[in-house]
């Protein structure tokens, strides 16, 4: 039998081997290879949801979901502009990801067990914590969702929203009558034409639709109740762990950057001058975390320089000073009363 000393030596050698393997540089997966070969990230987005993903008259895309793709492109390719945006309806989005038409789906999509476990996709993280709400006209005098008994409610098919509406109606004995449309544009048009008493989707989506589509946004009220949890975030095809890790850690890096007051404006200065070990590690000054992801040493710095930290992304696209005017709420940092929290970049 081996001595206790021999066992200790063997244990130490095994531990060292495990650590050595863990420190090996990442091997690029199929998706990463394809992205680098074409020099472009293909990003699936909505057909137009202001604040999240929408194109202007020149075809330039902007929004919170768009910025996630820009940050990933910057980290992988060194250039946030190297993104092709593919607008997708709710029905098209999962097929487009499964078939390889897009590399990543960044399109106000709720993370659920069914989607995560049965559609061949993996969610990279939550970029916006939301909940389903209702919008009505102010002239309806409705102040609460509980007043929607027997009401017609516009809803888009192929979404979690449709099932949540049915569940809420049944649980509260409201006998709500869904008026279902396949496309977002048709749902919007029906509500504003008065075909439905109320409109239901994610509360952030309601704010976006009210701001963009209503002739007078003040004539439409988003009711106070939220009837579901809707964690929204990007997803990638299952089976490519390398790309999944890159997409996930770029998002985490933007949150970590806000935690440590790293901004789009000061990232270069901090990379050159900061003595904070955490800041140095995030920006690739003191440690090379990039090799573990198959990226450059300054991968996070490039992502932050492209779009800013998570707080900047939020404020610019959907925050109180943006046209949407959404409160930070749950999407504030964990240290400021919210639930936005990222594992450490180390």
Mean pLDDT of the 86-96 span: 95
pLDDT at 122 (0 to 100):
97
Task: Match 């017609």 to its residue by tokens.
Answer: 152
pLDDT at 15 (0 to 100):
47
In this structure, what token pair is assigned to residue 271? Answer: 């990379």
The DSSP output letter for 295 is: S
Full-model pTM: 0.87
Question: CA 95, CA 104: separation in Å to the nearest integer?
Answer: 12
Stated as kind and residue range, the H or E segment containing 153 is: strand 152-156
What is the residue extent of each domain of the chain?
A: 30-129+232-335, 132-228
Fold match flag (30-129+232-335 vs 132-228): yes
Question: CA 288, CA 31: separation in Å to the nearest integer?
Answer: 23
Categorize the per-residue pLDDT at 159 as very low, low, confident or very high, splitting at 50, 70 and 90. Answer: confident
pLDDT at 20 (0 to 100):
42
Tell me the pLDDT tens digit for each residue of 319-328. Answer: 999 999 999 9
Fold of 30-129+232-335: D-Maltodextrin-Binding Protein; domain 2 (3.40.190)
In this structure, what token pair is assigned to residue 30? Answer: 């199929």
Tell me the pLDDT tens digit for each residue of 205-215. Answer: 999 999 999 99
Domain at 132-228, CATH homologous superfamily:
Periplasmic binding protein-like II (3.40.190.10)
Tell me the pLDDT tens digit for each residue of 274-308. Answer: 999 999 999 999 999 999 999 999 999 999 999 99
Question: CA 224, CA 209: separation in Å to the nearest integer?
Answer: 17
Question: CA 323, CA 319: separation in Å to the nearest integer?
Answer: 8
């Amino acid at each position: 039998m081996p001595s206790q000393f021999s066992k200790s030596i063997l244990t130490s050698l095994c531990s060292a081997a495990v650590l050595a393997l863990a420190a090996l540089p990442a091997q690029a997966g199929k998706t990463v290879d394809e992205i680098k070969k074409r020099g472009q990230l293909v990003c699936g987005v909505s057909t137009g949801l202001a604040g999240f993903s929408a194109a202007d008259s020149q075809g330039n895309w902007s929004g919170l979901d768009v910025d996630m793709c820009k940050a990933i492109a910057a980290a992988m390719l060194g250039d946030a502009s190297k993104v092709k945006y593919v607008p997708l309806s709710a029905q098209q989005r999962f097929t487009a990801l499964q078939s390889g038409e897009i590399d990543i789906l960044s399109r106000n999509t709720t993370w659920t067990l069914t989607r995560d476990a049965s559609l061949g996709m993996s969610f990279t993280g939550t970029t916006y914590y939301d909940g389903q709400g209702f919008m009505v006209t102010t002239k309806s005098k409705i102040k609460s969702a509980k007043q929607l008994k027997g009401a017609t409610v516009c809803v888009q098919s192929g979404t979690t929203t449709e099932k949540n509406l049915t569940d809420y109606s049944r649980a509260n004995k409201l006998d709500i009558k869904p008026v279902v449309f396949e496309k977002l544009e048709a749902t919007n048009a029906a509500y504003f034409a008065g075909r439905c008493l109320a409109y239901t989707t994610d509360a952030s989506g309601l704010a976006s639709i009210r701001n963009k589509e209503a002739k007078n946004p003040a004539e439409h009220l988003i009711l106070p109740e939220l009837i579901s949890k809707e964690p929204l975030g990007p997803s990638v095809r299952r089976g490519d762990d390398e790309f999944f890790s890159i997409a996930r850690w770029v998002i985490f890096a933007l949150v970590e950057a806000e935690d440590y007051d790293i901004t789009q404006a000061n990232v270069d200065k901090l990379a050159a001058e900061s003595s904070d070990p955490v800041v140095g590690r995030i920006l690739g000054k003191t440690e090379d975390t990039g090799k573990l992801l198959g990226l450059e040493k300054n991968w996070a710095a490039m992502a932050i320089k492209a779009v800013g930290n998570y707080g900047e992304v939020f404020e610019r696209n959907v925050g109180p000073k943006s046209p949407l005017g959404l409160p930070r709420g749950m999407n504030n940092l964990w240290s400021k009363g919210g639930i936005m929290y990222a594992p450490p970049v180390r």
